[in-house]
C-alpha cells in the first residue's frame, strides 16, 4: 500500500482517488464553484436588464424577474451540489442560461445573415463565454464522479453503506 494513498488496495498498488471521505472530486468542486460564478453572471444580467428597461425602478419586466429568479436557483443548486445533496438542481437551473445563450446565438446569426454586419457576433463573443459558465457547471455536475460522490453522501445520510465504485 502506498503510504499517501487514502484507499488501501489488495494488490498493493495505489488506487486513483476520485473521491474520499474527507474530500470531494475535482469535478464537483469545480462545478460548484462555476455554479456560484454562473449565478453571479445571471444576477448581473438581471441587474443590467433592470437598469436598462427604462421603467423608473418598477419590477414589471417578467424577463428581468425570471433571470433574477434563475440566478437565485442557480446559486441554490451550486450549494446543493457542494453540500452533497444532489446534482440535478444545478443542472436544471442552467436551463435559463442555455436559453439566453441560444437566443444570443440566434439573434447574432440572423442579424449577420440579414446583412447587419458583425455587431451581433461581437456581442456574442463578449457575452457568450460568461453565459456559458452555467452550462459548463451543469456538465461538471453530470460527470460520473460527481454523481457517485453525491450518491455516496446520500447513502451515508440514509444510514446505508457508502456507494461502492465499480472496478474498472
Residue 123 confidence (pLDDT):
83
In the block, cell 451515508 appears at 156
Residue 131 has pLDDT above 50, yes or no: yes
Cα(41)–Cα(130) distance, rounded to whole angstroms?
A: 7
Judged against a pLDDT cut of 80, whether residue 23 lies above it is answered with no
DSSP H helices in the chain: 26-52, 62-82, 88-93, 95-113, 119-131, 133-141, 144-158
| Alpha-carbon distances of 100 from 28, 55, 104, 158, rounded to whole Å | 24, 22, 6, 38
pLDDT reported for residue 16: 46
Q: How confident is the model at residue 141 (pLDDT cuts 50, 70, 90)?
A: very high
Q: Above 60 in pLDDT, residue 166?
A: no
pTM: 0.73
pLDDT given at position 18: 47
Amino acid at each position: 500500500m502506498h503510504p499517501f494513498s487514502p484507499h488501501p488496495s489488495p494488490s498493493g498498488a495505489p488506487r486513483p482517488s476520485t473521491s474520499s471521505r474527507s474530500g470531494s472530486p475535482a469535478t464537483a468542486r469545480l462545478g460548484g464553484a462555476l455554479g456560484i460564478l454562473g449565478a453571479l453572471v445571471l444576477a448581473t444580467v438581471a441587474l443590467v436588464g433592470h437598469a436598462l428597461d427604462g421603467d423608473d425602478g418598477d419590477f414589471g419586466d417578467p424577463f428581468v424577474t425570471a433571470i433574477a429568479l434563475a440566478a437565485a436557483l442557480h446559486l441554490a443548486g451550486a450549494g446543493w451540489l457542494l453540500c452533497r445533496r444532489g446534482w440535478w438542481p444545478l443542472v436544471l437551473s442552467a436551463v435559463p442560461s442555455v436559453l439566453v445563450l441560444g437566443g444570443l446565438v440566434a439573434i447574432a446569426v440572423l442579424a449577420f445573415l440579414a446583412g447587419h454586419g458583425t455587431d451581433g457576433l461581437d456581442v456574442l463573443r463578449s457575452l457568450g463565454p460568461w453565459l456559458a459558465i452555467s452550462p459548463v457547471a451543469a456538465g461538471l455536475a453530470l460527470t460520473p464522479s460527481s454523481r457517485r460522490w453525491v450518491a455516496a453522501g446520500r447513502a451515508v445520510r440514509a444510514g446505508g453503506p457508502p456507494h461502492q465504485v465499480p472496478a474498472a
